[in-house]
Amino acid sequence: MFFVKKKKIQVTEFFTDSFVDIHSHLLPGIDDGAKDLSHSIQLIKTMYSYGIKNFITTPHVLGDVYPNSSKVILQKVEEVREELKKEGLEDINFSAAAEYMMDEQFIELLNAGDLLTLKDDFLLVEMSYFSAPMNLYDVLFDIQLKGYKPVLAHPERYNFYHNNFDSYYKLKKAGCLFQLNFLSLTDQYGPHVKKISQKLLDLNMYDFVGTDTHHSNHLNLLKTLATEKNKKNLESLMKNNSKFL
């Protein structure tokens, strides 16, 4: 049996100037991502060296664990922007939305209209890795009734759907857009996630892609995806992300 070696390319060839990373955790000290401002800048600088210049970072908004208000998130964005300016990185486009857990607190924010979107009406949402909300399809309906388009973060990571693949079709039919995590195509989250992400990719079920960067280990692994094959397979998704510019 012969194995075709994946041809490596420069990571700056993999990420184009028009690519927008729509999922990351780069704001200082408000979730499980960047610990402080210096850590934020370190992560952004590394990603910048990869060729990523456009960021819509998405801190968790998750009940009492990460009760981040829109006001706090936007304040943190200004802190990072000021620091980037001091560093002479003024060609970086840096803004924020949020990654909303679809829980009771989210319903309150939805009803109040207090939500940060990726752009226009695109709203990044997630659910527990243990089980979907009992009222998931009601929530998705309400999101769209309020005029938003739900973008489901990393659907491949919800293990409870792995043996019930039809659920992915049901989610799409219910109006969900899918965002792939780049690192799901590596061993970062385990072989089952890798297998499902590849299947969803092969079936053209993804709409967007994101790094979901939390720390430097993620970025070290992200760099390994820079191959000709991956560039070809992910090119259309990465172009889709450019609509958020």
Confirm if 216 and 43 have CB atoms less than 8 A apart. yes
CATH number at 19 reads 3.20.20.140
Task: Count Cβ atoms within 10 A of the Cβ of residue 89 and give its class: 0-12 exposed, 13-18 middle, 19 or more buried.
Answer: middle
Is 219 inside any structural domain? yes
Give the C-alpha separation, 60 to 62, whole Å: 6
Is 1 inside any structural domain? no
* Six-digit token string for 201: 């990719």
Is 191 inside any structural domain? yes
Is 110 inside any structural domain? yes
What pLDDT, on the 0 to 100 scale, is given for residue 23? Answer: 98
Give the C-alpha separation, 89 to 48, whole Å: 9
Domain limits at 38? Answer: 15-244
Size (the chain), residues: 245
Is 38 inside any structural domain? yes
CA dihedral 58, 207, 198, 226 (to 10 degrees): -70
What pLDDT, on the 0 to 100 scale, is given for residue 1? Answer: 45
Is 2 inside any structural domain? no
Number of domains in the chain: 1
What pLDDT, on the 0 to 100 scale, is given for residue 5? Answer: 59
Is the pTM for the entire model greater than 0.85? yes
Confirm if 181 and 238 have CB atoms less than 8 A apart. no
Confirm if 163 and 196 have CB atoms less than 8 A apart. no
Q: In tens digits, what is the pLDDT along the chain, a chain of 245 residues? A: 444 557 999 999 999 999 999 999 999 999 999 999 999 999 999 999 999 999 999 999 999 999 999 999 999 999 999 999 999 999 999 999 999 999 999 999 999 999 999 999 999 999 999 999 999 999 999 999 999 999 999 999 999 999 999 999 999 999 999 999 999 999 999 999 999 999 999 999 999 999 999 999 999 999 999 999 999 999 999 999 999 99
What are the backbone angles phi and psi of residue 181, rounded to the nearest 5°? -85, 125
